[in-house]
């Protein structure tokens, strides 16, 4: 029973982690909470639905298409809604992000209507028994895709030139520029990667819960934001850990009889962790630049 | 002249940091920019590097205006900066820091050879190449910052307060390295509060006071100038 709940929690947590990574990477580099990130995840889910239903594509093609579409969208949003505000007060891009978020929700409601849409079947709902634990094919796919994407991200950030530039720019923006790094390009790249991960999360969650709606990004976005802060905003391993932690806590909470409080669990946890560790689980103490 | 700054004006909001700076750096020279805290030395370097947009004035490099260029393009032209306070990437390894210095270069094989050269020049960095730069001592960080800047194979090296916060022994060492780098063919524009050290290695120098150049000339003449001695050399 417990192991079953753990498995369900990890599956849910993996999707939170995929979304949380985008928040944390963008924050790491431009200190902006991208409030439109949940909507990128939502659009990703709808692109997935479109690919499967209209274009009759399989899971892999739909997933890649959603990721590519959201990459372009994320980069465009940064260019038109955040970059012109780079040198203004911290609050201005934040408000702009909220504006983008409302815009995308409203746009999608106009196009698809406010009702949730079922995700057309792409994979069968086969169940496998692993000892005492039952695992569905969807869960296996979520875990595999999420692990591959996170491993890929780790590889890029650790070994690829632009990934290293991302780390350099997130530590010290000006000095990165002094090294000849085109910081604007690095920021675009960060938005592209973060948005692609969110889109993958959107498609996977759409399949998992068999439901996609223009408002699905609101709560998922807030929870993933919690996960990112829980793990330590700006820290990539922190976002992964925070996502998994939140998914497991939420699932165990529901199994423990707190199902009415399901959505409150994330926020309660956030408050508790921040009371004791204001920088999050893997966050660094805040350094003031002189 | 290799690098020319003409009538440069920079303001931070209502504060006028530079009020019309003129200076020139010729090929192969060490030129020092000395002055008190807040005189505008760092602002001058940051403006040359493209981090700050001037209100007016021009900066030309090899006769080409670079005033409106973004920092990364200025680096690829051959002007690199060792920023004030070293600013190594503390959460990256020594080796990764050096790789970042070579960011604009595409010749991978030569980059590898240059990393080896930096390690030869600074053997302490070689011993610590997989260590995070944040764990290095101040002197080692200064060496890393210099090695990192050299990785871009700069024609002109801008150095901002290389002696800041270092023990006197290390200051000596750092300045003799600066001289070596210059003798190997790199032009240097040096900003220093330690006027004594700066004037001892520079060919020419400018004295900056509240955003204006008040004196300039051969370093030796400035070192013997009674006003400079009184104000900056503590004699």
Domains and CATH numbers, chain B: 3-232 (3.40.50.300)
Cβ atoms of A155 and A142 within 8 Å: the answer is: no
Span A78-87, average pLDDT: 93
Cα–chain center distance at B228: 22
Q: Pairing state of beta strands A127-130 and B56-61?
A: unpaired
Best of B89, B134, B151, B189 to disrupt the A interface by mutation (most A CBs within 10 Å)? B89
A106 to chain B, any CB pair closer than 8 A? The answer is: no
Whether residues B100 and A171 touch (CB distance < 8 A) is answered with no
Report the interhelical angle of A216-231 vs A37-53 (nearest 10°). Answer: 130
Give residues 210 to 229 of A whose Cβ lies within 8 Å of B: none
Task: State yes or no: pLDDT of B52 exceeds 80.
Answer: yes
User: Are the Cβ atoms of B148 and A179 closer than 8 angstroms?
Assistant: yes
pLDDT, residue A10, reads 95
pLDDT in tens, B18-38: 999 999 999 999 999 999 888
Which residue has tokens 């990667």? A193
Tens of pLDDT, residue by residue over B114-124, are 999 999 999 99
Give the CA distances from residue A196 to residues A7, A71, A172, in Å, rounded to whole numbers and listed in that order.
Answer: 25, 5, 25
Cβ neighbours for B90, distance < 8 A, ≥ 6 positions apart: A171, B132, B133, B134
Token digits of residue A197: 């991960």
Count Cβ atoms within 10 A of the Cβ of residue B216 and give its class: 0-12 exposed, 13-18 middle, 19 or more buried: middle
What residue has token string 């209502």? B14
Tokens of A128: 């496998």
C-beta separation of A251 from A24 below 8 A: no
Contacts of A240 (CB under 8 A, 6+ apart): A17, A20, A21, A150, A231
CB-based contact A181:B103 (threshold 8 Å): yes
| Banded model confidence at residue A287, pLDDT cuts 50, 70, 90 | low
Mean of pLDDT values over B45-55: 95
DSSP string, A44-65: HHHHHHHHHHTS---HHHHHHH
List of chain B residues whose C-beta atoms are within 8 Å of the C-beta of residue A184: 70
Task: Give me the residue spans of the domains in chain A.
Answer: 2-276
Q: What average pLDDT is seen over chain B?
A: 93
Name the fold adopted by A2-276: ABC transporter involved in vitamin B12 uptake, BtuC (1.10.3470)
H-only helix segments in chain B: 41-48, 71-77, 94-101, 108-121, 123-127, 138-150, 168-183, 195-201, 219-224, 226-232
What string of DSSP letters covers B97-137?
HHHHHTTT---HHHHHHHHHHHHHH-HHHHHTTTSBGGGS-
In this complex, the residue of A167, A174, A177 whose CB is nearest that of residue B92 is A167
Are residues B131 and B97 in contact, defined by beta-carbon separation less than 8 angstroms?
A: no
C-alpha triplet A37, A43, A46: angle, nearest 5°: 150
pLDDT for position B95: 96
Give residue B143's Cα distance to chain centre.
13
Instruction: Count CA atoms closer than 13 A to B204's CA, side-chain side.
Output: 14
Number of C-alpha atoms within 13 angstroms, CB side, residue A290? 4
Partner residue facing B100 (CB), from A179, A182, A184: A179
Interface test with B, best of A180, A184, A282, A290 (most B CBs within 10 A): A180
Q: What is the mean pLDDT of chain A?
A: 92
pLDDT at A248 exceeding the cut of 70: yes
Q: Which site among B87, B97, B111 would you substitute to test the A interface, given the most A Cβ atoms closer than 10 Å to its Cβ?
A: B87
pLDDT at B46 (0 to 100): 95
Residue A156 to residue A240: CA distance in whole angstroms: 16
pLDDT at B152 over 80: yes
Give start and end residues of each alpha helix (H) in A160-235.
161-171, 173-178, 183-209, 216-231
Residue B182 half-sphere exposure, CB side, CA atoms within 13 Å? 23
ipTM for the complex shown: 0.92
The angle formed by the CA atoms of residues A44, A47 and A51, to the nearest 5 degrees, is 140
């Amino acid at each position: 029973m417990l192991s079953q709940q753990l498995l369900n929690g990890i599956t849910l947590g993996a999707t939170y982690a995929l979304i949380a990574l985008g928040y944390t990477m963008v924050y790491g580099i431009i200190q902006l909470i991208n409030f439109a990130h949940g909507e990128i995840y939502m659009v990703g889910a709808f692109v997935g639905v479109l690919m499967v239903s209209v274009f009759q594509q399989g899971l892999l093609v739909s997933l890649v298409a959603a990721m590519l579409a959201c990459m372009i969208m994320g980069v465009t949003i940064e260019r038109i809604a955040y970059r012109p505000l780079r040198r203004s007060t911290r609050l201005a891009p934040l408000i702009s992000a909220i504006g983008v978020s409302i815009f995308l929700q409203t746009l999608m409601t106009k196009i698809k209507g406010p009702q949730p849409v079922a995700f057309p079947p792409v994979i069968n709902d086969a169940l496998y028994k692993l000892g005492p634990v039952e695992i569905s094919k969807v869960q296996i796919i979520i875990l595999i895709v999420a692990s591959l994407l996170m491993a890929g991200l780790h590889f890029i950030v650790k070994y690829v030139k632009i990934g290293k530039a991302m780390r350099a720019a997130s530590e010290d923006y000006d000095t990165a520029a002094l090294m000849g790094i085109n910081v604007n390009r690095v920021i675009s790249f960060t938005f592209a990667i973060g948005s692609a991960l969110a889109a993958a999360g959107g498609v996977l969650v759409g399949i998992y819960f068999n439901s996609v709606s223009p408002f699905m990004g609101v709560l998922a976005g807030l929870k993933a934001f919690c996960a990112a802060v829980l793990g330590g905003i700006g820290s990539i391993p922190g976002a992964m850990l925070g996502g998994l932690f939140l998914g497991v806590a939420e699932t165990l909470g529901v199994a423990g009889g707190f199902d009415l409080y399901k959505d409150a669990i994330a926020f309660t946890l956030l408050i508790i962790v921040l009371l004791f560790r204001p920088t999050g689980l893997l966050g660094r103490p805040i350094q003031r630049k002189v | 002249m290799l690098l020319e700054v003409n009538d440069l004006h920079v303001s931070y909001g209502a504060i006028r940091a530079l009020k019309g700076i003129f200076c020139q750096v010729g090929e192969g020279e060490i030129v020092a920019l000395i002055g008190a805290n807040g005189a505008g030395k760092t602002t001058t370097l940051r403006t040359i590097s493209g981090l700050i947009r001037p209100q007016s004035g021009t900066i030309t490099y090899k006769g080409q205006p670079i005033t409106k260029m973004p920092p990364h393009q200025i680096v690829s032209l051959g002007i690199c900066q060792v920023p004030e306070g070293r600013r190594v990437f503390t959460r990256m390894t020594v080796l990764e820091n050096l790789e970042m210095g070579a960011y604009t270069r595409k010749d991978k094989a030569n980059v590898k050879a240059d990393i080896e050269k930096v390690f030869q020049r600074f053997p302490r960095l070689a011993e610590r190449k997989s260590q995070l730069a944040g764990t290095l001592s101040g002197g080692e960080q200064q060496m890393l910052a210099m090695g990192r800047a050299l990785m871009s194979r700069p024609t002109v090296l801008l150095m901002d307060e290389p002696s800041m916060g270092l023990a006197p022994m290390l200051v000596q060492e750092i300045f003799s390295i600066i001289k070596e780098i210059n003798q190997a063919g790199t032009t240097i524009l040096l900003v220093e509060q330690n006027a004594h050290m700066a004037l001892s290695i520079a060919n020419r120098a400018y004295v900056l006071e509240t955003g204006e150049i008040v004196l300039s000339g051969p370093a030796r003449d400035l070192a013997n100038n009674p006003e400079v001695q009184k104000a900056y050399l503590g004699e």
